[in-house]
Structures are given as C-alpha cells and as structure tokens.
Amino acid sequence: MNWDQIEGKWKQLKGSAKERWGKLTDDELDTRDGKRDQLAGQLQEKYGITREQAEAEIDQWRTAHAERTAADDRRIA
C-alpha cells in the first residue's frame, strides 16, 4: 500500500494509527488527514524522536498494515 492509498483511506486507517501511536489524540489524527510529513512531525513532538525515527515508525506501520490487508484479501478470495 503506497502513501497515496493511505491518504485516500485515512478515515478508515486512523484507528490503526491511533492503536500504534496512542499518544496522538483523535483530533490530532483528524487534522493530519493522512499527510505523512505532518504525521512525522507530530510523532517527533509527542515521542521526542528524530525525523528519521519518525519516518521509520511510519514505514513499519505502513508495511504492517499492507501485509494485514493482503492477508485479509487472501482469506476472502
């Protein structure tokens, strides 16, 4: 799943983001609207991590979500 797809499905995916990064509020996730750079900045601020660490966290979340989606698709097929 690429980031354009995530932005397009942000309303469905923000619950998963909330589970991963519990320090982010619903309002903060709503205002990010799936924008990767804004999410990375918020992670830096809330978790006291570097930009590189925030980007790595986001990549891990995106990859895990893509793998879950692919597994779900295989079960349905």
> Residue ranges of the domains in the chain?
3-72
Residue 54 zone, left/alpha/beta (φ > 0; ψ -120 to 50; rest): alpha
Single out the residue of 35, 30, 36, 29 nearest to residue 54, CA to CA: 36
Q: Is residue 17 within 8 Å of residue 6, measured between CB atoms?
A: no
Tokens 């923000």 sit on residue: 14
Q: For the whole model, what pTM was predicted? A: 0.81
**pLDDT values of the chain reduced to their tens digit, one per residue, 77 residues:** 788 888 888 999 999 999 999 999 999 999 888 899 999 999 999 999 999 999 999 999 999 987 776 555 566 65
Q: Could you tell me which CATH class the domain 3-72 is placed in?
A: mainly alpha
Q: How far apart are CA 6 and CA 50, in angstroms?
A: 23
Q: 55 near 40, Cβ under 8 Å?
A: yes
